[in-house]
Amino acid sequence: MTLKTILAGAALAAGLAGAAAAQDDPVTVGFVYVGPVGDGGWTYEHNQGRLAVEEHFGDAVETVFVESVPEGPDAVRVMQQMALNGADLIFTTSFGYMDQTIEVAEQFPDVKFEHATGYKRADNVSTYSARFYEGRAIQGHIAGSITESNIIGYIASFPIPEVIRGINSAYIHAKKVNPDVEFRIVWAYTWFDPAKEAEAATALIEQGADVILQHTDSTAPQAAAAEAGGVYTFGQASDMAEFAPMPRVSSIIDNWAPYYIDRVQAVIDGTWESQDVWHGIGEGMVGIGEITDAVPAEVKAEAEALRDSIAAGEYHPFTGPLNRADGSAWLAEGEVADDGTLLGMDFYVEGITAEIPQ
């Protein structure tokens, strides 16, 4: 027996012992949340994903979470604490945790990290995000069809690609069914602030908007619309079904559970690898909440057909011909946007008259 085979044998034995230990020990999965689990939107849905993991794996998996973690040095500390306390896999669920996730991942090469909505990866850092713009296409279609004032209000959060993509997707599909449609965009500069969101909704309604789309997470705009009467809204991040059938006529639901279960399983199986996923309606990461009867039956049928064709991969919401707002050509007839452009989107499509704030 040569030294090489002895070493190989020892390595194999150690590997088996490690695997055996991993079998006995429950896999610990950590979640870092940017908001409180009761926010009813973004963090709430991530926590639903965590609960689904617990339910699916039972005793084989243990989950821990820390909520309302500010995006900055506090996030570094929380992730380090989780890693030290034995987490095998950590989901960091906000864009603002990007550099912090990379930093901690370097310190703990044996711990796997999953960062939501970012673009920086490493051997032990994956990124995942959802193609919410697919849901926006359906919203735009419904909004363009049901508006009577032809003014659609949009409560935007921050002028980042994610939000701009949503505005563009909604606008393209509203315009398709209603050439006279006009978008009024209000920037709230927050993801979650019920008072500000209600104020923005009221301002938009006063300007004549009879459909309100929102990229903020609270139900305040729904309440404002209900009070005004005759104004349609869509649930954001969460179904917000308590406002159905009016004003909420449908919703975009973040459904992280299948992905979370998948990745935890990969860690258990030892097959986890760094990857970059951007899933949409087809994979089930983006859910479309039930379209209520407040929407005419034929519009509902069209919207569902649109949803199904996007899910099947037959139709891409950004299909040419499309021009940029400055009039320059973007996509030729039949051309489909590439992911790189979509991920860094910093322009409106032609027809939106507003300016992106700088």
Chain contacts with another protein (rule: CB under 8 A):
30, 36, 64-68, 70-74, 76-78, 80-82, 84-85, 95-96, 99, 119, 158-161, 189, 343-346, 357-358
CA–CA distance, 305 with 285 (Å, rounded to integer): 18
Nearer to another protein, 35 or 144 (CB): 35
CA dihedral 113, 115, 118, 120 (to 10 degrees): 0
Nearer to another protein, 189 or 206 (CB): 189
**Least distance CB 44 / another protein (angstroms):** 14
Nearer to another protein, 117 or 233 (CB): 117
Burial environment of residue 128 by CB neighbours within 10 A (0 to 12, 13 to 18, 19 or more): buried
* Residues 6 or more apart whose Cβ sits within 8 Å of residue 251: 234, 235, 236, 238, 239, 240, 241, 288, 289
**Least distance CB 348 / another protein (angstroms):** 13
Nearer to another protein, 218 or 222 (CB): 218
Angle subtended by helix axes 194-206 and 220-228, to nearest 10: 30
CA–CA distance, 302 with 299 (Å, rounded to integer): 5
**Least distance CB 160 / another protein (angstroms):** 6
Nearer to another protein, 15 or 357 (CB): 357
Nearer to another protein, 70 or 296 (CB): 70
The token duo for 313 is 């991969």
**Least distance CB 94 / another protein (angstroms):** 10
Nearer to another protein, 76 or 294 (CB): 76
**Least distance CB 41 / another protein (angstroms):** 16
CA–CA distance, 110 with 108 (Å, rounded to integer): 5
**Least distance CB 75 / another protein (angstroms):** 10
Give the single-character DSSP code of 358: -
C-alpha torsion sign, points 104, 161, 169, 330: negative
CA–CA distance, 331 with 323 (Å, rounded to integer): 7
Give the single-character DSSP code of 336: B
**Least distance CB 40 / another protein (angstroms):** 15
Q: Which of 124, 99, 104 is nearest to 113 (CA)?
A: 124
194: phi then psi, degrees, rounded to nearest 5 = -50, -40
The token duo for 213 is 């789309």
**Least distance CB 257 / another protein (angstroms):** 20
Nearer to another protein, 76 or 226 (CB): 76
